[in-house]
Amino acid sequence: MSRSDRGLLAMNAQRIYGAVVAVVVALLAAALYFQHVEGLEPCPLCILQRYAFVAVGAAALLAALAGGRRWGIVAGAAALAAALAGAGTAARHVWIQLHPESLACGPGLATMIENFPLYEVLPKVFRGSGDCGAVDWSFLGLSMPAWALVWFALLALALGAALARR
Protein backbone atom coordinates (compact mmCIF):
# COMPACT_ATOMS: atom_id res chain seq x y z
CA MET A 1 0.00 0.00 0.00
CA SER A 2 1.48 3.33 -1.01
CA ARG A 3 1.57 6.32 1.33
CA SER A 4 -1.20 8.08 -0.60
CA ASP A 5 -3.49 5.06 -0.20
CA ARG A 6 -3.54 5.18 3.57
CA GLY A 7 -5.88 8.19 4.01
CA LEU A 8 -5.96 9.36 7.62
CA LEU A 9 -2.93 7.20 8.40
CA ALA A 10 -0.84 9.19 5.92
CA MET A 11 -1.96 12.65 7.08
CA ASN A 12 0.23 14.72 9.35
CA ALA A 13 -1.22 16.34 12.47
CA GLN A 14 -1.70 19.79 10.90
CA ARG A 15 -3.72 18.34 8.03
CA ILE A 16 -5.88 16.34 10.42
CA TYR A 17 -6.53 19.46 12.49
CA GLY A 18 -7.36 21.36 9.30
CA ALA A 19 -9.79 18.63 8.24
CA VAL A 20 -11.41 18.75 11.70
CA VAL A 21 -11.89 22.52 11.35
CA ALA A 22 -13.47 22.06 7.89
CA VAL A 23 -15.85 19.37 9.17
CA VAL A 24 -16.87 21.52 12.14
CA VAL A 25 -17.56 24.52 9.88
CA ALA A 26 -19.71 22.31 7.63
CA LEU A 27 -21.61 20.86 10.60
CA LEU A 28 -22.31 24.30 12.07
CA ALA A 29 -23.42 25.57 8.65
CA ALA A 30 -25.80 22.61 8.40
CA ALA A 31 -27.18 23.37 11.87
CA LEU A 32 -27.82 26.99 10.89
CA TYR A 33 -29.46 25.84 7.64
CA PHE A 34 -31.82 23.53 9.52
CA GLN A 35 -32.64 26.30 11.99
CA HIS A 36 -33.08 29.28 9.68
CA VAL A 37 -34.18 27.67 6.41
CA GLU A 38 -35.98 24.50 7.48
CA GLY A 39 -37.42 26.06 10.66
CA LEU A 40 -36.16 23.42 13.11
CA GLU A 41 -35.86 25.17 16.47
CA PRO A 42 -32.85 23.94 18.48
CA CYS A 43 -33.31 22.87 22.08
CA PRO A 44 -30.92 23.68 24.96
CA LEU A 45 -28.98 20.44 24.44
CA CYS A 46 -28.64 21.23 20.73
CA ILE A 47 -27.15 24.57 21.74
CA LEU A 48 -24.65 22.88 24.07
CA GLN A 49 -23.64 20.59 21.22
CA ARG A 50 -23.14 23.61 18.96
CA TYR A 51 -20.88 25.19 21.56
CA ALA A 52 -18.93 21.94 21.81
CA PHE A 53 -18.48 21.91 18.02
CA VAL A 54 -17.29 25.54 18.15
CA ALA A 55 -14.81 24.62 20.90
CA VAL A 56 -13.55 21.63 18.89
CA GLY A 57 -13.09 23.78 15.80
CA ALA A 58 -11.41 26.67 17.60
CA ALA A 59 -8.99 24.42 19.49
CA ALA A 60 -8.23 22.40 16.34
CA LEU A 61 -7.52 25.62 14.45
CA LEU A 62 -5.08 26.69 17.17
CA ALA A 63 -3.45 23.27 17.06
CA ALA A 64 -3.11 23.47 13.27
CA LEU A 65 -1.52 26.91 13.49
CA ALA A 66 0.86 25.83 16.25
CA GLY A 67 2.95 23.59 14.06
CA GLY A 68 5.11 21.43 16.28
CA ARG A 69 5.10 23.79 19.25
CA ARG A 70 4.11 22.56 22.70
CA TRP A 71 0.95 24.68 22.88
CA GLY A 72 -0.26 22.86 19.78
CA ILE A 73 -0.40 19.68 21.83
CA VAL A 74 -2.37 21.51 24.52
CA ALA A 75 -4.77 22.88 21.90
CA GLY A 76 -5.14 19.42 20.34
CA ALA A 77 -5.89 17.92 23.75
CA ALA A 78 -8.44 20.69 24.37
CA ALA A 79 -10.10 19.89 21.03
CA LEU A 80 -10.23 16.21 21.98
CA ALA A 81 -11.71 17.07 25.40
CA ALA A 82 -14.36 19.25 23.74
CA ALA A 83 -15.22 16.44 21.30
CA LEU A 84 -15.62 14.00 24.19
CA ALA A 85 -17.75 16.49 26.14
CA GLY A 86 -19.87 17.04 23.04
CA ALA A 87 -20.25 13.28 22.62
CA GLY A 88 -21.44 13.04 26.21
CA THR A 89 -23.99 15.79 25.65
CA ALA A 90 -25.18 14.20 22.41
CA ALA A 91 -25.45 10.79 24.12
CA ARG A 92 -27.56 12.35 26.88
CA HIS A 93 -29.73 14.00 24.21
CA VAL A 94 -30.25 10.68 22.41
CA TRP A 95 -31.17 9.07 25.74
CA ILE A 96 -33.77 11.78 26.39
CA GLN A 97 -35.21 11.23 22.91
CA LEU A 98 -35.48 7.51 23.61
CA HIS A 99 -37.10 8.22 27.01
CA PRO A 100 -39.08 11.46 26.49
CA GLU A 101 -41.17 10.88 29.57
CA SER A 102 -38.09 10.95 31.83
CA LEU A 103 -36.72 14.45 32.23
CA ALA A 104 -36.77 17.79 30.53
CA CYS A 105 -33.54 19.15 29.11
CA GLY A 106 -33.58 22.50 30.83
CA PRO A 107 -35.38 25.81 30.91
CA GLY A 108 -36.89 27.24 27.78
CA LEU A 109 -35.73 30.46 26.20
CA ALA A 110 -38.56 32.49 27.75
CA THR A 111 -37.50 31.39 31.24
CA MET A 112 -33.88 32.27 30.52
CA ILE A 113 -34.83 35.75 29.28
CA GLU A 114 -37.01 36.35 32.34
CA ASN A 115 -34.31 35.28 34.79
CA PHE A 116 -31.07 36.53 33.22
CA PRO A 117 -29.95 39.93 31.96
CA LEU A 118 -30.23 40.27 28.22
CA TYR A 119 -26.45 40.36 27.75
CA GLU A 120 -26.23 36.89 29.30
CA VAL A 121 -28.82 35.33 27.06
CA LEU A 122 -27.29 33.34 24.25
CA PRO A 123 -26.85 35.13 20.92
CA LYS A 124 -29.65 34.66 18.42
CA VAL A 125 -27.86 32.01 16.42
CA PHE A 126 -27.44 29.94 19.57
CA ARG A 127 -30.94 30.34 20.95
CA GLY A 128 -32.76 27.18 21.85
CA SER A 129 -36.38 26.73 22.72
CA GLY A 130 -37.21 23.41 21.12
CA ASP A 131 -38.14 20.24 23.00
CA CYS A 132 -35.14 17.98 23.67
CA GLY A 133 -37.32 14.86 23.63
CA ALA A 134 -38.84 15.54 20.23
CA VAL A 135 -37.38 13.92 17.12
CA ASP A 136 -38.10 16.54 14.47
CA TRP A 137 -35.69 15.22 11.85
CA SER A 138 -33.97 11.95 11.03
CA PHE A 139 -31.77 10.56 8.29
CA LEU A 140 -31.07 6.86 7.81
CA GLY A 141 -32.96 6.20 11.03
CA LEU A 142 -30.78 8.49 13.17
CA SER A 143 -31.98 11.71 14.77
CA MET A 144 -29.94 14.90 14.64
CA PRO A 145 -28.40 14.33 18.12
CA ALA A 146 -27.50 10.78 17.10
CA TRP A 147 -25.70 12.17 14.04
CA ALA A 148 -23.98 14.70 16.29
CA LEU A 149 -22.82 11.79 18.46
CA VAL A 150 -21.45 10.01 15.38
CA TRP A 151 -19.59 13.17 14.30
CA PHE A 152 -18.22 13.84 17.78
CA ALA A 153 -16.92 10.25 17.89
CA LEU A 154 -15.31 10.57 14.44
CA LEU A 155 -13.76 13.91 15.38
CA ALA A 156 -12.44 12.44 18.63
CA LEU A 157 -10.82 9.58 16.69
CA ALA A 158 -9.23 12.01 14.24
CA LEU A 159 -8.02 14.26 17.06
CA GLY A 160 -6.58 11.26 18.89
CA ALA A 161 -4.74 10.29 15.69
CA ALA A 162 -3.39 13.84 15.35
CA LEU A 163 -2.18 13.85 18.95
CA ALA A 164 -0.48 10.49 18.42
CA ARG A 165 1.55 12.05 15.61
CA ARG A 166 3.01 14.74 17.88
Per-residue pLDDT tens over the stretch 68-90: 778 888 999 999 999 999 999 89
Beta carbons of 96 and 105 less than 8 angstroms apart: yes
23 CB-near residues (< 8 Å, 6+ apart): 151, 154, 155
pTM, to two decimals = 0.74
pLDDT under 70: residue ranges of the chain:
1-10, 100-130, 132-135, 137-138, 166
Which stretches does DSSP call E strand in the chain? Answer: 138-139, 142-143
End-to-end CA distance of the chain: 23
Beta carbons of 105 and 90 less than 8 angstroms apart: no
Domains of the chain, CATH where assigned: 3-164 (1.20.1550.10)
Alpha carbon distance 57, 44 (integer Å): 20
32 CB-near residues (< 8 Å, 6+ apart): 125
